[in-house]
Amino acid sequence: MAGEFVASDPAWEAKVRASFARQTFMHTIGARIVSLAPGSCAIELPFRRDLCQQHGFLHGGVVTAIAANAGGYAAFTLMPEDTSVVGVEYKVNLFASPKGTRFLARGRVLRPGRTLHVVESEVDAEQDGRLRPVARMQATMMCAEGISEVGMEVRA
Amino acid sequence: MEFRPRDPDWDQKVRASFARQTVMETIGATIAALRPGQCEVALPYRRDLCQQHGFLHAGITTMIADSAAGYAAFSLMPPGASVLTVEFKVNLMAPASGERFLARGTVIKPGRTLMVVEAEVIGEDAGKRKSVAHMLATMMCLEGKSDQQALRQEG
């Protein structure tokens, strides 16, 4: 899907990576960005036992967190300078137990608007070298204008 | 709404299952209240669970809403069954700011196989409460597959 969108902010890549780096929760769970292009973002998370639900699989909230971030940052690549990205709503279908040694959330913009971006994310679980889809999200991300990403920091 | 649990051990089984969710311990979430068809999960704010602006990450908000909703449903499920989240829709209505968060899950329709559950997440700050997120979810009852039966993976 490369080249489908053009980023209006020349610093799009640095700004997305800097924002992701400020998300303490991503650091806490060990997630990282593995690919980034205008309108798309992929996030990887190695399996960890301390992020599980009652059956020993990755918790649905963790699956959602990486899906929402892949979608949110896919949208943020296309947002103008001095704006901030905010999640408005999402729908998630969990269609298989998230069983695997590594998880990959791939987000892409379906429709970039001035204020609202519609995005979708797929989460795959990798096991024995095979990727299997475990969840899908459709989300709405808002572009908050005049609020720089850094300036919104509320707690020291 | 008043619900009658189908499992006499509903309270103990929900708490035991919650205790097996390692991620709840990792983030510091606990069950604050439990009734048939209703479950509240409390989470104190922590700096290492945030998004880029220092608010609680939406994934965490969703996580406690999902657990509250799932265990509200599980409290009404028969003995020997286990609970699984099928799908949900979340509206994030305000930045998740606060000293403490409370996710309250309530069963709307307890079906035999599928249960419709809603959950609200409230942020508490200096005695003030505001609604930060709302979830509508579908939970599945897997009969004959006990919650304790480890479908565990080694790793």
Helix (H, G, I), strand (E, B) or coil at B104: strand
B58 contacts on A by Cβ (under 8 Å): 64-65, 68, 87
Given A62, A91, A152, which is nearest B59 (Cβ)? A62
pLDDT at A1 over 60: no
The pLDDT of B55-70, averaged and rounded, is 98
* Residue, of A151 and B111, whose pLDDT is higher: B111
Mark yes or no for CB contact A60/B22 under 8 Å: no
Distance CA B54, CA B46 (A): 10
Min distance A151 CA to chain B CA atoms (Å): 8
User: What mean pLDDT, rounded, does chain B reach?
Assistant: 94
Distance CA A87, CA B59 (A): 10
Mark yes or no for CB contact A91/B55 under 8 Å: no
pLDDT at B107 over 70: yes
The answer to whether B98 and B123 have CB atoms below 8 angstroms apart is yes
A92 touches chain B (CB under 8 A): yes
B108 touches chain A (CB under 8 A): no
What is the three-state SS of chain A?
CCCCCCCCCCCHHHHHHHHHHHCHHHHHHCCEEEEEECCEEEEEEECCHHHECCCCCECHHHHHHHHHHHHHHHHHCCCCCCEEEEEEEEEEEECCCCCCCEEEEEEEEEEECCCEEEEEEEEEEEECCEEEEEEEEEEEEEEEECCCCCCCCCCC
Helix (H, G, I), strand (E, B) or coil at B101: strand
DSSP classification of residue A21: H
Given A23, A51, A149, which is nearest B22 (Cβ)? A51
Q: Of A30, A151, A129, A70, nearest to B58 (Cα)?
A: A70
> Testing the interface with B: which of A16, A20, A25 to mutate, by most B Cβ within 10 A?
A25
The pLDDT of B77-89, averaged and rounded, is 97
Beta-bridge partner residues of B40? B33, B104
Distance CA A91, CA A109 (A): 15
Q: Supply the ipTM of this predicted assembly.
A: 0.89
Amino acid A147: pLDDT: 66
* pTM of the complete model beyond 0.95: no
DSSP classification of residue A58: B
B141 touches chain A (CB under 8 A): no
pLDDT at B11 over 90: yes
Confidence of residue A145 (pLDDT cuts 50, 70, 90): confident
Amino acid A88: pLDDT: 97
Percent of chain A past pLDDT 90, that is, above it, reads: 90
B90 touches chain A (CB under 8 A): yes
A99 contacts on B by Cβ (under 8 Å): 153
Mark yes or no for CB contact A54/B59 under 8 Å: no
Angle (CA) B134-B139-B142 rounded to 5° is: 165
Mark yes or no for CB contact B62/A155 under 8 Å: no
Given A20, A61, A154, which is nearest B62 (Cβ)? A61
Virtual CA dihedral for B100, B105, B106, B112, nearest 10 degrees?
-170
A23 touches chain B (CB under 8 A): yes
Distance CA A82, CA B75 (A): 47
Q: Which amino acid is at B23?
A: V
Q: Of A51, A131, A137, nearest to B90 (Cα)?
A: A137
Mark yes or no for CB contact B89/A60 under 8 Å: no
Mark yes or no for CB contact B66/A99 under 8 Å: no
Instruction: Read off the pLDDT of residues A72-130 as tens digits, 9 standing for 90 and up.
Output: 999 999 999 999 999 999 999 999 999 999 999 999 999 999 999 999 999 999 999 99
